[in-house]
Each structure stands twice: as structure tokens, then as C-alpha cells.
Amino acid sequence: HLTKTSPTSSIPEPHVVIFPLPIQGPVNCMLKLADLILSLSNSAVSVTFVVTDFIHRRLIHHSTTAARLGKNFRFETVPDGLGDGGDDDENPRGLYQLADMTNTLQGQAQAEGSRLRAVLAYGAAEPGLKKAVTCIIADGFYGCMVDVAKELGVPLVYFETISPCGLWTYLCVPNMLRTRDLPFQGENDLDAAITSVPGMEAYLRRRDLPSFCRAYDPKNPIIQLVLNQVKNFPKAQGHILNTFDELEGDYFHNLRALCPNLYNIGPLHLNLKCRLKQKSTKSISNTLWQEDRQCLEWLDAQPRKSVLFVSIGSLASMTKDQLMEIWYGLLNSKTRFLWVRRPGSIIDDEGGKEAAVPIEVVEGTKERGCVVSWAPQEEVLGHEAIGGFLTHCGWNSTLESIVGGVPMICWPFFVDQQVNSRVVTEVWKIGLDMNKDECDRVVVEEMIKELMGTTRREEFLARAGVMAKLAAQAVDVGGSSYNSLNRLIDDIVYMRF
């Protein structure tokens, strides 16, 4: 879209360092952002993408984007502190390692003389590769980056990779502590209303707050990271949000008041697909696992809107008990299903080691279902055979479902997922909220029948269709996310931060 001339040689060339959290969701959408910056700036910008060694190894094996990005793109790698052989190499690091990895990486970013510090300042540690950095785009969870960027004299834009509604509840934690909504007082009534999250009073209950609010403990490392994020939020030069204006509700003007320079550029995967004029997302996959593309052939053979897609994302795990409840719920509902069982996502009931899937489930699947260890999810949710999504409500999954016009059954696990599930069901009304705190085969069966059966199916599909249309308009020429993305690229190219 750039019509103006490139920056003259008297000013440094634009060079962005992108620094995601080392987990699938953030890596995926920040690589998509890198893709957009490179293609829309006509190579006027170079991008250095900082990942951990572990993520890098997985991306070069499985991502189709990385090979396509050209000479203005470079990976830089840093250690995540967990060692090379300590974890099962088949599984990327999970939620329980997130706080440790974030603290390790923040420590490196703050340490004078560290490799990461040099990469943030110059895009590289090796003298021959160094080039002044004109903007850092870091995940909003790295609260320390405000000080690091200030010390390095580089503007900082945060990419908030969680949902804006989840982010807003994070930002309200100090207010909730002041009003004693937190820690929960008296009886542990999870249905009690939360009144100190402005704009969400009408529907937010204790059970809808991010998981770390339950048994609130200021010493919990995730809470400490969140509080640091909250403190530093208003100090960045801008914030990128993976959302579109038309999706956001009453609370959003409060968020904007804290940081007026917001770039709502989502749904990012749709924005990228439109800008690259791609019909399929096959060539823009940033996956950390090997995708099983055969499930698309299986879907081709199923009737329209007949299949429930089941996936709990890249970090969550279910116990064997929960697996059996989901399984019998699915079986008794008599619905066709496509189920992702990621390596490591089924654990024993004590919550520890990976558990084997019982033979009755393996055998029983063959009749009406298809099971894969990792799916090309964006394509699956865009397939016409998919009629519903039983999801953990991770923010990327939620957006991908909205884009596909697919109604959801929400079974949230942690962080922003609890808030997302409430907004999906109570505000957008494009799904059903499974009782968040127990997984019961009767509930699963009833919800599937309600979502996919004849009585309410058309109602859900119609509403989901409207949302999908709004998303498509937002990224189309002149739409809200289209314009926001142009503004972001211009601000990067002309170094306006």
C-alpha cells in the first residue's frame, strides 16, 4: 500500500526486532505480523525475529512461512533456560514452564552484555550483522521491556497476544484488589458478580475471571508477571491488538483511555490471507507440530456443517477422567467429530505424566470420528463440513472460529480463556459455556445436541455468520483493521513513535 518514497539515507533504515513469548499462539501471530510488515513495506523494513532455540528448531521443521520471508528477515535465537534435553523434545514447553521461561528471558533482556540485550539493541550480537534497531515489538507479558527499550533508546510497541477482554481483566486486577473483589471474600461462591471491571459488570462472575484469580496469591509467579505487565502497560508507545473494532464492546474505551495509540489489526490471520491474496492458508503456517493434512480429506467426505471440531490448543492438558467424559459425551450425542489429541495433552488423573488413551476410545473413534495429533486448524475451521468447535477458548482459536463462522462450545482452562468463554456466550452469543469447573458427559452431550441439533443450530450459525462477515469487512480494503494495519506499517517505516 506504500505510495510515499522510502526513507532517505540520512536517517537509519527501519529495522524492527520482534520478541514473542516462546509458545505457539504468540509465535504464530507475531510471525504473521512479520510477514505483513515485510510484504506491505515493499522491503523498506528489515525484521529480526527473536525466538528461543527450542522454538526455532520446531519452526524450521514445520513452519512454511519461515522459508518464504526473504532476505530482510532473520531469526535470532536465545536459550530459554530449560536446557536442551531436560524436556521431552516432542513437546514444546507448556504452561507450567511459562513463568520460568519468561523470567529467564526478561533477566537476559535486562543484563548488560547478554546476547539478548545486544539483539534487542542491534538485531544481532555479532559485529558484522549489527544494525540500529528503530522499533521493538514485544509481547505485552514482558513487562520489563518498557525499561529495557528506554535504556536502549528504542521505541517500544507491545503486541498484546491475549484477548483484549482478558487483558482488560488483567488491567483491572489492582482495582479488584482495592474493592476487595479480590481475593474472593467469604464463601467461595463462584457465581458471585464481579463489580470492579468497568464495562463488564453485567455479566462477569468470579468463575469468569482469569484462572490465577482463584486462590489469589501475590507470590504466584504468573500473578507477579501480570502485575508487572499492568504497571508498564501505559508506558509503551503503542499496543497492537489482534482484534477488530466491530468486535469490541462496552469496556473497550476504558482500555483505549489507558493507551490511546492502539492498533486493532485482527483477525490477523485473515488480514494476512487477504493482503497476500491467498485462497488457502497452507503456505502461511507457523505451526510447531507436524500437521496431519489427511483430516481435510476426511472432512471433504462429510456432510455440510455436520462435524464438531475438538481441540484444546497448544498448552492445556486434560486428565484421563476428563477424556472419558468428553468421549462419552461425543459418543452419546451421535455427532461426527474431528478430535486433536496433541502429544502430551492427555495426562494421568494425578495431573502428572502423559497417559495412554484407553483402547475403547481408540476403537470407538473409527466409526464416526477422526483423530489427529495436530490439525491445520485455520483450514479446518474454514471447511464447510465443520458445524461446531469444542474449544478451550484460547484467543487465536476463538478468532479462527469467528472467521470461519463456527459456533463454539467453550471449555476454558486458564489465563484469558475463562473471560473469552463468557464473552463468546453472553456478549456475542455465538456459543455455549460448558460448566467451566467440571467436565461431565451429560453436559457435553446436551451442549453438542443444543449447538449442532435441529432446535438452535440455525440460530447459532446465523449469528456466527454475521460475526464472520464483520471480520471479513474489517480486513477488506478500507475496513477498520485494514486501515489500522496501514497506519502501523507507516509508523514503522517513517519511524513515528
- Per CB under 6 A, residues contacting ligand UDX are 23-25, 28, 161-162, 287, 311, 313-316, 340, 374-375, 377-378, 394-397, 400, 415-417
CB of 271 to ligand UDX, least distance (A): 14
- Other CB atoms closer than 10 Å to residue 129's CB: what's the count? 14
Is 206 or 269 the residue whose CB approaches ligand UDX more closely? 269
CB of 328 to ligand UDX, least distance (A): 22
Gap between the Cα atoms of 20 and 27, Å rounded: 6
Question: β-strands 318-319, 307-311: how paired?
Answer: unpaired
Q: In what order do the strands lie in the sheet with 46-52?
A: 73-78, 46-52, 15-19, 135-139, 156-160, 238-241, 262-264
Is 162 or 493 the residue whose CB approaches ligand UDX more closely? 162
CB of 390 to ligand UDX, least distance (A): 12
Is 122 or 233 the residue whose CB approaches ligand UDX more closely? 233
CB of 287 to ligand UDX, least distance (A): 5
Structure-derived torsion over alpha carbons of residues 330, 333, 336, 337, reported in degrees to the nearest 10: -20
Is 416 or 433 the residue whose CB approaches ligand UDX more closely? 416
CB of 288 to ligand UDX, least distance (A): 8
CB of 493 to ligand UDX, least distance (A): 28
CA 58 → CA 193, 254, 312, distances in Å? 43, 39, 20
CA proximity to 286, closest of 63, 29, 26? 63
- Other CB atoms closer than 10 Å to residue 189's CB: what's the count? 12
What residue number has its CB nearest to ligand UDX?
394
CB of 290 to ligand UDX, least distance (A): 10
Three-state DSSP at 385 gives coil
Gap between the Cα atoms of 146 and 157, Å rounded: 9
Beta-bridged to residue 311, according to DSSP, are 391
Is 46 or 420 the residue whose CB approaches ligand UDX more closely? 420
Q: What is the DSSP letter of 205?
A: B
Is 24 or 229 the residue whose CB approaches ligand UDX more closely? 24
CA proximity to 387, closest of 292, 310, 466? 310
Is 382 or 479 the residue whose CB approaches ligand UDX more closely? 382
